[in-house]
DNA sequence: CTTATTGCAAAAGATTTGCACTCCA
DNA sequence: TGGAGTGCAAATCTTTTGCAATAAG
């Protein structure tokens, strides 16, 4: 199954019309190892794709895809927001150390348990497949305590 | 100890100069039950304070206070960023519905439990005193499932 | 066919910045 | 007194929107 097929299936799965622009934007994010800003997505399409997409459409497409949880959206408050393809089969999260910047893996089990508890007690369904946690890794935390 | 004193002490504690504008901005956030945008802070000062502050200074002051962890910053990604006075004794969580934008209160107990579990099993110390969760409120989630 | 989607360009905001002046430490 | 802080207005920058044309289902 090609990358294009992956995107197309995902679009249909959430009930969205399949357009050349949405496929292009989706593939740009699917191919990206890291996250991309809207402008980076568009720039990539200018170079690598036969389908140039206007920036307005990139924004509209990203917004739509985020709404349908096909892509994740992260706004760290500085400059542009970033987006990334979400794989329902492999949920992930961002646990970023404020001191050294390392990304730490968090056991999905913990997130699931937390999510269920929140749903049960707070009448809110958190999207934990793309949670952005900030904190300290073990090494930096130890250093903070000793120092 | 007056509210003004609370702000002043905090400013001095982090090594910042004490100015009428910083006191005013700090008090505006300290008095706010919820969080405020920069414009809301300024508007409040026009009405309630003898110290009007330019919007540029409000932004600069907020930025400075956030840097010194006196104030918390939250960017909903839509519209303006919001700020709030940080009180270590009263952690504040944000659970924002992606569909209707409502903010839902999450029981602090759940976050504490989650934080302890993460620390114990994942060697990461999450900062949960100002966590921003994204998801759907009960109403929008029900609508999504039925629709 | 019917309605959603797109492109273009202009608009809308939110936040920042240059510069001269003011005030805290 | 010196350097940080402030006001004003213009500038920047990201994201949104109106409208006519186009394309998906």
Please indicate, yes or no, whether residues B59 and B99 belong to a single structural domain of this protein.
no
Q: Is A127 in the same domain as A142?
A: yes
Domain boundary among A64, A88, A112: A88
Interface residues of chain B, partner chain A, Cβ below 8 Å:
73, 75-77, 81, 95, 97-99, 104-107, 110, 113-114, 117-118, 121-127, 131-138, 141
Instruction: Tell whether B82 and B105 lie within a shared domain.
Output: no
- How many other CB atoms are found less than 10 A from the CB of residue A9? 12
Query: Which CATH number covers residue A115?
Result: 3.30.1490.190
* pTM for the full predicted model: 0.79
pLDDT tens-digit readout, B121-133 = 888 988 877 777 8
Residues of A in contact with B122 (CB under 8 A): 95, 104-107, 110
Are residues A81 and A97 located together in one domain of the fold? Answer: no
Q: Domain range holding A115?
A: 90-147
Residue A24 in tokens: 């292009």
Residues B69 and B45 in one domain: yes
The structural domain count of chain B equals: 2
Task: For residue B13, say whether its CB is under 7 Å from any atom of strand C.
Answer: no
Question: Which residue is nearest nucleotide C13, judged by alpha carbon to C1' distance?
Answer: B79
Residues A34 and A96 in one domain: no
pLDDT category at A147 given cuts 50, 70, 90 is low
Indicate yes or no: CB of B124 within 8 angstroms of CB of A98: no
Strand partners, B125: A136
Q: What is the CATH number of the domain that holds A33?
A: 1.10.10.10
* Same domain, yes or no: B81 and B106: no
Residues A97, A57, single domain; the answer is no
Q: Are the CB atoms for B58 and B38 separated by under 8 Å?
A: yes
B116 band by pLDDT with thresholds 50, 70 and 90: very high
Do A81 and A119 have their domain in common? Answer: no
In this prediction, residues A110-135 reach a mean pLDDT of: 86
Domain end among B49, B71, B88: B88
Residue A100 reports pLDDT greater than 90? no
- Co-location of B51 and B105 in the same domain: no
The residues on A that touch B, with CB distances below 8 Å, are: 66-67, 73, 75-77, 81, 95, 97-98, 104-107, 110, 113-114, 117-118, 121-127, 130-138, 141
- Cβ proximity of A61 and A77 under 8 Å: no
What gap in Å lies between CA A114 and CA B111, rounded to an integer?
A: 8
Of B88, B108, B126, the last residue of a domain is B88
Do B27 and B78 share a domain, yes or no? yes
Give pLDDT tens digits for B40-81.
Answer: 999 999 888 778 999 999 999 999 999 888 998 887 766 789
**In strand D, which positions have an atom below 7 A from any protein CB?**
4-10, 13-18, 23-25
Residues A32-78 have pLDDT tens digits of: 877 899 999 999 998 887 789 999 999 999 999 999 999 998 877 66
């Amino acid at each position: 199954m090609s990358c294009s097929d992956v995107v197309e299936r995902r679009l249909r799965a959430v009930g969205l019309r399949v357009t050349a622009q949405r496929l292009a934007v989706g593939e740009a994010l699917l191919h990206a190892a890291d996250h991309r800003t809207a402008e980076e997505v568009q720039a990539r399409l200018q170079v690598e794709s036969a389908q140039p997409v206007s920036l307005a459409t990139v924004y509209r497409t990203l917004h739509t895809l985020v709404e349908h949880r096909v892509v994740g959206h992260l706004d760290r408050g500085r400059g542009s927001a970033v987006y990334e393809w979400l794989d329902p089969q492999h949920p992930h999260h961002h646990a970023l150390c404020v001191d050294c910047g390392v990304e730490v893996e968090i056991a999905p089990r913990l997130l699931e348990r937390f999510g269920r508890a929140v749903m049960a007690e707070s009448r809110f369904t958190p999207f934990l497949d793309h949670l952005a946690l900030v904190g300290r890794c073990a090494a930096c935390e130890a250093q903070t305590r000793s120092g």
